[in-house]
Amino acid sequence: MTTRHFETSLMGRGRTFVDRMREVEAGYREVSRELTLSDWNNEPHSKTVLDGLARLTSALQ
């Protein structure tokens, strides 16, 4: 199963909040892997086109 990553912006303040967000960030890194150019080039064309379309329309969703 492929999991997609979507980015968002968030502004927050306070040491406790920042520390908790760093823990969440570390958790994401632990279960992630680097997507290399070779990996990307080996993806089916239909999948990369759909990924690009999803990125283009994400602000409208």
For each successive 10 residues of the chain (61 residues), what is the average pLDDT? 69 92 94 91 88 82 66
The pLDDT, as a whole number, for residue 9 is 82
User: How many angstroms separate the CA atoms of 43 and 38, rounded?
Assistant: 9
Q: According to the model, what pLDDT value does residue 59 have?
A: 75
Q: What letter does residue 34 receive in the DSSP assignment?
A: -
- The reply to whether 22 falls in a domain is no
20-26 contact pairs (CB < 8 A, 24+): none
Which pLDDT score is estimated for 5? 63
Q: For the chain, what is the domain count?
A: 1
Residue 59 maps to a domain: yes
Asked if residue 53 is part of any domain, the answer here is yes
For the chain, the straight-line distance linking the first and the last C-alpha, in angstroms and rounded, comes to 23
Q: What is the pLDDT of residue 30?
A: 95
Domain for residue 39, yes or no?
A: yes
Asked whether residue 60 is assigned to any structural domain, the reply reads yes
Q: Give me the pLDDT at residue 3, please.
A: 63
Q: Which domain holds residue 41?
A: 35-61
In a domain? residue 9: no
| pTM reported for the whole predicted model | 0.52
